[in-house]
Copies of this chain bind each other. A is one copy, B any other.
Amino acid sequence: MTQSQALLERGTSDTVEMTMRALVYHGPGRRSWEDRPRPRIEKPTDAVIRVTTSTICGTDLHILKGDVPTVEPGRVLGHEGVGIVEEAGSAVTGFRKGDKVLISCITACGKCDFCAKAMYSHCRNGGWILGHRIDGTQAEFVRIPYADTSLHLLPPDADEEAMVMLSDIFPTAFECGVLNGQVKPGDTVAIVGAGPIGLAALLTAQFYSPAAIVMIDVDDNRLQVASSLGATSTVNSAGGRAAEKVMALTNNEGVDVAIEAVGVPETFELCQSILAPGGRLANVGVHGKPALLRLEKLWAHNVTITTRLVDTAATPMLLKVVQSGRLQPKRLATHRFRLADVMKAYDTFGNAAKERALKVVLRNS
């Protein structure tokens, strides 16, 4: 059944289940674009959103590799999106049908002890569940629990390509990297990893006017992009002498802030080795293995190391900064597809280096 058929049926009977198209995970390495029942309001605090723009995250690729066993086959993927409220539950007071909204990658009940601390990532009733434990946004429609505290109102004319970057990568890069790294005016910052998250960290680190930002990656194309986005120097770490080069760049003092945006032990250990006394190491990467912590050196080095799953507490601020023109998130959008071509989009995004892909935008309009 096609979408138009589904819409047709809506007119005839409520008892007929309406369908939609969605990108569904079927176990490691297997995904398809297929018909699925269209989501409905299940609790009075839910909203159903018609997705107008979505995108693909590196995490979605991890899921497809089988690295995230909590994702069960049959799950609709995707945790980023912009859309239009199709239906709001009876207890939803902040949104109504027709509103344009940004979908947060983190669902927050707004009531638990973690939500009271704005640590929505660990919400006892939510957290990262979209495209993980419940169906996600790479679909024509998505159900958002706790809509009042998990959506953000957008103006009708908001630029959806820019906004969809605020579902996940910008709050992630900013909160886990820049805020936790306590970037300050005059600082020297190193960012390891020039993928979309690392580049979003590069853009948002500039909110605080550091004196220098050194971008480190193995891909010269991405380093060029970094230079165009404000990196004051770049280091290709392919040769294995990245730490040495960073120390030389910093007059052997080390950096004030090192942001890890890759997620492997080697890059985390590189970050440790370039920290100045008093430095902050802010982990953003998703790690699958332990790393060595060089306590025999670091115990006396006055460092702070942070980890964080994004809370999206900074999203309202990011919306203001985007609206002020001081941040252009869409600079990370390199490829555009129709949502119906999401299978192709995955091929491109999964081959990012060759395709020179950063973020691929999926439009459903």
Contact = CB atoms under 8 A, between A and B. Distances in A.
Interface of A: 44-45, 90-91, 93-94, 109-111, 113-119, 121-122, 148-149, 184-186, 206-212, 232, 263, 265, 268, 277-278, 283, 285-296, 298-309, 311, 313, 316-318, 320-321, 323-324, 326-327
Contacts of A292: 290-293
How many chain copies?
4
Given A91-B44, A286-B299, A118 B118 contact: yes
Given A186-B321, A209-B321, 18 more contacts: A45-B91, A93-B109, A114-B278, A117-B278, A119-B277, A184-B317, A185-B208, A207-B208, A208-B208, A211-B323, A211-B324, A211-B326, A290-B296, A291-B292, A291-B295, A299-B307, A299-B309, A300-B307
Nearest to A306: B304
A197 to B, nearest CB: 13
* Residue of A116, A121, A263, A326 contacting most chain B CB atoms (<10 Å): A116
A316 B116 contact: yes
B119 A93 contact: no
B110 A321 contact: no
A294 to B, nearest CB: 5
A279 B13 CA distance: 52
Given A121-B302, A211-B326, A309-B300, A44 B90 contact: yes
